[in-house]
Structures are given as structure tokens and as C-alpha cells.
Amino acid sequence: MGFVAGVLGILLLLLILRLWSSERQLEEWAKQLTETDENSNLRLGTSVRSRAFRRCCRAVNERLEKGQQARIRQENMGRELKAAISCVSHDIRTPLTGAAGYLQLLEKVSDTPVQKGYLSVIRRRLEDLESLLEELFLFTKLSNDEYQIQCGEVEPFPVLCDVLAGFYHKLTAAGVEPELDLPEEGGTVFASEEALRRIFANLVQNAIRYGSGRLEIRQEGKELSFTNPVEHPEELDSERLFQRFYRADSSRHSGGAGLGLASVESLMEKMGGSARASVQEGGLTITLRFLCR
């Protein structure tokens, strides 16, 4: 009887010690979580040899890790947005200043042909401004990890033809002749028609701004490639072409905010695909690879 009482006493003592160490561990965690700055790299540890405590510790650390990563993403988005505003502020002011200047000239003339010429220039400046604002708006959407694109089976050919028709006058003025090699029926890709339209528009606009001569567009299976000659291929860095705000020419005469190809890559990744660039034989090739389903 005395032996049993002794064993029970030892077990009770062990239980009390375990409860004491558990409470001490919880108090230590509470102190760490309360007193440590939320931006720190705090991770909890446990001295209690218990499966439940180890699981709880891992769960809290995983939540802390996710919270830290979310803060880092938010901070990066904030910095990128500030950089975007800074980089495009000059480009936005340029068409606005030009339109305002021609508007002042328009108010001082009464000659109809001259007025039409000024109105044409103002219209082009406002179109440039609209394009820049669309690029910036798309950039802010794509920077959000929660932004998703609903995809389905889409035929690229009619979408591409519609985009090229919209750029007809600009293509003609730039002397760029599109050459298409796509199946008119079938050849579907897994994409969003709206996103595909934006991708095609950005690539065509890129060829107009920086290309010289023809624009070859081909589809092979789930891949589409846009190839156009460039005047100074040695100046192109294919590894940096998809970086935000990167432009092959350091001047701003070609227009654009340097977000077109970055948006192309982001849109493709949102749809489960990819985009890559290569420079060879005096030409730039942008290849779109869509998700195979």
C-alpha cells in the first residue's frame, strides 16, 4: 500500500512539474509575442517535450512566416508603385504639356485647316496619355498577388486579327508589315481573351516602337512567337527585357513607360504560361508558351 502511494505521489509530482513547465512555456511565448516588434524575424521555440506543444510551435511559426512574407510583399508593392509613379511622371507630363500647348495655339487661330492640324496633334497626345495610364493601371493590378485571371480555350487568330486592325494606321505609318502563320480555326490555347488581347497589343506596340520592317507572328502548338528586326540588336539585353521600366533606349522619344513587356510576362504567368525573349540574326523574338491542358 505504501509502495502504491509512493508511486502515485511521484506521478503527481511529475504531473505538477509538467503543468508548471507548460504554463512557463506559454507565458514565455506570450511575452515574446507581446514584446517583440511585429517586423522582427521572431520564431518560437519550445523546451517542453510534447507533441502537442511542438505542433503548436510549428503552427505559430508558420503563421508568423506567412505574416512576414505578406508584409514584405506589401512593402515591395508600395516601393514598386512609388517607382512606377516616379518613372512615368515625366511621360505623363509630356503629352499633357503638348496637348495644353497646342490647345493654346488653337485658341489663337481661326484658319480651319490649321485648327484641324492642331486638333489632330492634341488627339494623339491624349491617346498617348491614355495608353500610359492603361499601362500603369494594369501594372498595379498585376502587382497584386490576389488578382486572378479566368481562363478557357481561346483561338488566338481572330483576337490577333482584331488587334492588328486596331493598329492598322500606326503599323502603316511605321512601315511595319505583319506576316501571320497561325491556324485560322482550332489551335486553341488556355488563356483569357481579354488578357490575350492586351498581350498582343503590347507586343504589336513594342514592334512599332522599337522594330524596323516586318513583324512575323507564328504559332506552333501551344507557342506563339513575335519576331521583328531591330536596328541595334547588340544594345538589347534579352535577360532584362521583361524588367519593369526597362527600355532598350535610354531616351524617352519612343514613348511608353517601360511596362509593356513586363505586363506581358505577368499576364502569361497569371494564366499559367510563360514568356521569354531572344535576340538573334538581327531580330528580337518574344515567345509565348501557354499552359498545356
Predicted pLDDT at 180: 92
Predicted pLDDT at 147: 82
Strand partners of residue 153: 190
Exposure on the CB side of residue 259, measured as CA atoms within 13 A: 25
Burial of 278 (0-12, 13-18, 19+ CB in 10 A): middle
Q: Which three cell numbers stand for residue 176?
A: 511595319
The rounded mean pLDDT for the chain is 81
Q: Is the pLDDT of residue 230 over 90?
A: no
Predicted pLDDT at 284: 87
Mean pLDDT to the nearest integer, 271-289: 88
Confidence of residue 152 (pLDDT cuts 50, 70, 90): very high
Q: Using CA atoms, how far apart are residues 166 and 142, in angstroms rounded to an integer?
A: 24
Domains of the chain: 72-142 (1.10.287.130), 152-289 (3.30.565.10)
Q: Which three cell numbers stand for residue 52?
A: 502537442
Contact (CB, 8 A) for 153 and 185: no
Predicted pLDDT at 128: 79
Better pLDDT: 179 or 49: 179
Predicted pLDDT at 252: 41
Predicted pLDDT at 115: 86
Q: Is the pLDDT of residue 254 over 70?
A: no
Q: Is the pLDDT of residue 255 over 60?
A: no
Mean pLDDT to the nearest integer, 204-220: 86
> In the chain, what percentage of residues exceed pLDDT 90?
21
Q: Dump pLDDT digits (tens) for 6-34.
A: 777 777 776 777 777 777 887 887 887 78
Q: Which three cell numbers stand for residue 53?
A: 506543444
Predicted pLDDT at 253: 44
Q: Is the pLDDT of residue 201 over 80?
A: yes
Q: Dump pLDDT digits (tens) for 118-135.
A: 888 888 888 878 877 887
Q: Is the pLDDT of residue 223 over 80?
A: yes
Q: Which three cell numbers stand for residue 286?
A: 518574344
Q: Using CA atoms, how far apart are residues 137 and 199, in angstroms rounded to an integer?
A: 15
Predicted pLDDT at 244: 66
Predicted pLDDT at 271: 93
- Non-local CB neighbours of 58 within 8 Å, separated by 6+ positions: none
Confidence of residue 190 (pLDDT cuts 50, 70, 90): very high
Predicted pLDDT at 269: 92
Q: Using CA atoms, how far apart are residues 96 and 111, in angstroms rounded to an integer?
A: 24
